[in-house]
Structure 1
Amino acid sequence: MYCRNCGEENPDNAVFCRNCGNRLIEDVKKAEVIENTENNHTKSTASTDGNDSSDWIGCCLCLIAIFIIFAIFGAIL
Structure 2
Amino acid sequence: MFCRYCGEENPEEAIYCRNCGKKLEEEVIRTEVIETPKNNNQNTGKSTTTSSSSNKGNSDWVSCCLCLIGIFIVFAIIGSF
Is the TM-score greater than 0.5? Answer: no
TM-score (norm 1): 0.43
Structure whose residues are more often helix by fraction = 1
**Structure showing greater relative contact order (alpha-carbon pairs closer than 8 Å, 6 or more residues apart):** 1
